[in-house]
């Protein structure tokens, strides 16, 4: 009977949204169930050519906005497109009802962009972690919520972007490769 309960819980973990993963981890710890963690870094569908800062050889990090929602809401700015750029705007484009194309940060420390899917791509940061490659939907980028000790160096947000100032992955400084968390 106990094995069936564990199987059901493990199945639930596979279908749960990333934003609920913390709750699942607490629940599985209470039940004495271990969540499998893989050290397989995955497949580089970008073949070393896409979603990478080639100067520093660091991959772009991807994280869903819900993981850092308050910090993202506080710091990001809307992007409406360049004048003459084709956008999804209607003939009412000059009133206050225009929707931004995406949201971004370019503050001298971070460069990041979030589109309507809710995924934030971090293309510059003073920090990196090691993570697994994303699916073919983001070839060459790495998903920050899947840290992996032998994964690729991946730009990430510092711990101050998360609740309780605790990142869900190890954070290293780009300038000297020092582990800071």
Per-residue pLDDT of 49-69, as tens digits, reads 899 999 999 999 999 999 999
Cα angle for residues 101, 43, 174 (degrees, 5° grid): 65
- CB burial of residue 59 (10 Å; 0-12, 13-18, 19+): buried
pLDDT at 80: 85
Q: Is the pLDDT of residue 29 over 90?
A: no
Report yes or no: 164 and 173 within 8 Å, Cβ to Cβ.
no
Per-residue pLDDT of 136-158, as tens digits, reads 889 999 999 999 999 999 999 99
Per-residue pLDDT of 70-121, as tens digits, reads 999 999 998 988 776 555 555 555 555 678 889 999 999 999 999 888 999 9
Q: Which of 69, 18, 39 is nearest to 133 (CA)?
A: 39
DSSP classification of residue 167:
-
User: pLDDT exceeding 70 applies to what percent of the chain?
Assistant: 71
User: Alpha-carbon distance 104 to 75, whole Å?
Assistant: 9
User: Alpha-carbon distance 110 to 29, whole Å?
Assistant: 35
Report yes or no: 121 and 113 within 8 Å, Cβ to Cβ.
yes
């Amino acid at each position: 009977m106990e094995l069936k309960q564990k199987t059901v819980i493990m199945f639930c973990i596979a279908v749960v949204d990333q934003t609920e993963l913390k709750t699942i981890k607490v629940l599985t710890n209470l039940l004495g169930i271990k969540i499998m963690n893989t050290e397989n870094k995955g497949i580089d569908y970008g073949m070393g050519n896409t979603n990478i800062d080639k100067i520093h050889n660091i991959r772009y990090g991807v994280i869903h906005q819900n993981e850092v929602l308050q910090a993202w809401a506080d710091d990001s700015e809307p992007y409406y497109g360049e004048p003459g750029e084709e956008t999804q705007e209607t003939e009412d484009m000059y009133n206050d009802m225009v929707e931004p194309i995406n949201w971004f940060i370019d503050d001298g420390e971070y460069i990041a962009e979030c589109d309507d899917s809710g995924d934030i791509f971090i293309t510059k940061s003073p920090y990196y972690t090691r993570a697994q490659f994303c699916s073919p939907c983001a070839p060459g980028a790495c998903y920050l919520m899947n840290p992996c000790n032998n994964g690729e160096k991946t730009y990430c947000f510092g711990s101050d972007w998360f609740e309780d100032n605790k990142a869900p992955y190890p954070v290293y400084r780009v300038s000297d490769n020092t582990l800071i968390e």
